[in-house]
Amino acid sequence: MALIKAELLKLRTTRLWWVMLAVTIAYVLLQLGLTIGFAGQGGGPNGQPIFPGRDTVPFQELMWGLGASGALFPMILGVVMMTAEYRYQTITTTFLTTPRRERVVVAKLGAGVVVGLAFGLVVLALTAVAVAVSVPLSHGELVLSAKILRIAAGVLAVLVLYTLFGVGLGALIKNQLGAIVAAVVWVFIIEALVNAIPALRPVGKWTPAGAGSAVTNSGVDLGLGTDYLLPAWAGAVVLLGYAVLFSAVASATTIRRDIT
């Protein structure tokens, strides 16, 4: 616990965490605003609305899942939590202070969980405000169903997972710029293509993005299809598996690496 507190202290003494938080807020607000603005309007197949009307329950379920779209930014923060130690050569002092490197890695992962949860809670708070304002203005009735709770829990899980992914990626790729570029390419190119191309979807459903979409799936088809996704419980299991995998990668690469 002392090491986790130390890692969080390192993070709090830099400006990057609140910059990433501000960018996350802006990005999620953009997603929420676009969904609210285009809700109920045509443009889908056979002239059907792309997004459900603001007075419907599917609209609320869709809104609650949008927070997962901001997962890139806590992931970048996770990368920096690891790679900044190498960039500024503080990793030597860290490992001299705590020679058992696996404890340092576990502490960084523990701090990553806290960061992911904090970002997730902020995102869910923004979503709650957006839903609470937009639905009554459209004469809809606010609901808090078991499905919405599952979607909200999925958003938290996705943001935590991607933060851990960032820590693991930073342990694997010491170069900070290289690790951040790899993270962006993974989210915006590799996972986006794999989950958008129908022929690749049998593989895409097993990626972190596919598993996260399964957990936060509202059942609303936005043109990419949702029938290929895993069940929500299976998506949660896959997310947990990736978290374990990222932890193992982070531990194995950092413990065995020569840092001199």
* Chunked mean pLDDT (size 10), the chain, 260 residues: 88 88 95 88 59 87 90 91 84 83 86 94 96 91 90 90 86 84 86 81 83 75 65 84 79 72
Q: What is the pLDDT of residue 45?
A: 52
Q: What is the pLDDT of residue 255?
A: 67
| Three-state secondary structure string covering the chain | CHHHHHHHHHHHCCCHHHHHHHHHHHHHHHHHHHHHHHECCCCCHHHCCCECCCCCHHHHHHHHHHHHHHCHHHHHHHHHHHHHHHHCCCHHHHHHHCCCHHHHHHHHHHHHHHHHHHHHHHHHHHHHHHHHHHHHHCCCCCCCCHHHHHHHHHHHHHHHHHHHHHHHHHHHCCCHHHHHHHHHHHHHHHHHHHHHCHHHHHHHCCCHHHHHHHHCCCCCCCCCCCCCCCCHHHHHHHHHHHHHHHHHHHHHHHHHCCCC
Domain layout of the chain by residue ranges? 2-256
Q: What is the pLDDT of residue 128?
A: 95
Q: What is the pLDDT of residue 224?
A: 54
What are the pLDDT digits (tens) for 17-46? 899 999 999 999 999 999 998 887 755 555
Q: pTM for this one? A: 0.86
State both tokens at 146. 């078991």
Q: What is the pLDDT of residue 46?
A: 55
